[in-house]
Amino acid sequence: MEHSTMPPLQARGISKSFTLHQRRIDAVREANLSLAAGEVTALVGRSGSGKTTLLQVIGLLTPPDAGEVLIAGNDAWSLSGDARADLRARTLGFVFQSFNLLPQHSAVLNVALPFRGPRRVGLQRAGQLLERVGLADRATHHPSQLSAGEQQRVALARALVNDPQALLADEPTGNLDAANEEQLLDLFRELAAEGRAVLLITHSDTVAARADRVFRMVDGAPTPVPSAAAPDADPILPVEQS
C-alpha cells in the first residue's frame, strides 16, 4: 500500500451527545486523536466511557455534534453523504466483536462483498486474503462451519479487501480464546508494519500491551497512558459494549 507522511486519520475537537430518558449524555467531549501509519493504537475505558461512540464518529458511521475527522487531510464530515460513503469504503476497514458475517455466504464471498471493482477481481483478492490469514482451505465454508477464531479472521480479511489506510477494530478479540487472540494480534501487528494505522478498542490488558500507544477515555476524551505505567495502578476492567 502507499505510504504518506500525513496521518491517515485524525479527530479534532469531536463532541457527541445523546438523549436517553429525557437526559442528555455527553458521550464524547472535545476529543482529539491522531492515528499514525505503521502503529497499533489501543483505546481503553470503562463501559459507557464513549470509546465506541468515538470509533463510530471517526469511522464515518455517526456524525459528530462538533469537530472534524480528517482523512488524508480532508474533513470527511464536510463531504456529501455519497462522497463520504465512498471515502469510507476506500480508506477504512472495520472489524467488530460480533464478526457480522452473512450466514448464507461462504467465507470467500463474505470477504469479496465490499470489494469496489469487478467481481472476478474481488473473488481473486478475497482468496489471497484468506490465504494470508491462514484460511485458504476454508474459503468455501459458511460462517456456521467456522470457529469463532476463524470467523474473526474472515472478518479481518473482509476489512482488508479494499486495501484501507486504517483499520478500526471494536473489541476484536472479545469472543476469542487466548490462542486465537494472540494469532489475531500478530496479524494486526503485521498489517501495521506494512504502513497501515490500526486502532483497537479493547478492555483487555493483553491487547493493550501489544499496542504502540495506549489511550484511556477520561471524561469523554482519549488521554495518553504512559508506557511505563503499572498496569495494575489503573486496571482495565471487563466491560460491556459502550
Residues with pLDDT less than 70, the chain: 1-5, 228-242
Count of domains for the chain: 1
- The whole-number pLDDT of residue 240 equals 39
> Is 179 a member of any domain?
yes
> Is 186 a member of any domain?
yes
> Is 151 a member of any domain?
yes
Alpha-carbon dihedral 116, 121, 126, 131, rounded to 10 degrees: -150
pTM over the 0.95 mark: no
> Is 81 a member of any domain?
yes
Max CA distance (Å), the chain: 53
> Is 185 a member of any domain?
yes
Q: What is the CATH number of the domain that holds 30?
A: 3.40.50.300
- The whole-number pLDDT of residue 21 equals 86
**Measuring CA to CA, which residue among 226, 175, 165, 233 is closest to residue 199?**
165
> Is 231 a member of any domain?
no
- The whole-number pLDDT of residue 3 equals 53
> Is 189 a member of any domain?
yes
> Is 241 a member of any domain?
no
Residue 119: which domain range? 9-224
